[in-house]
Amino acid sequence: MWSRHFTPEEANEALAQVRPLAERLVERRADLLAARARMAELAARIGGNGGGIDPSVPATLARAAAAAEEVIRETVTELHDLGVVVKDLDAGLIDFPALRDGVEVLLCWQLGEEAVLYWHDAEEGFAGRKPL
Domain boundaries along the sequence of the chain: 8-131
pLDDT in tens, 47-65: 777 667 787 888 899 999 9
3-state secondary structure of 85: strand
Contact in structure between 77 and 61 (CB atoms under 8 Å): no
Contact in structure between 43 and 57 (CB atoms under 8 Å): no
Query: Is the confidence at residue 1, as pLDDT, over 90?
Result: no
Q: What is the pLDDT of residue 51?
A: 66
Query: Is the confidence at residue 78, as pLDDT, over 80?
Result: yes
Q: How confident is the model at residue 76 (pLDDT cuts 50, 70, 90)?
A: very high
Helix H or strand E encompassing 89: none
Backbone CA torsion sign across 37, 22, 104, 129: negative
Q: What is the pLDDT of residue 58?
A: 85
Average pLDDT, the chain: 93
User: Which amino acid, residue 9?
Assistant: E
Q: What is the pLDDT of residue 50?
A: 63
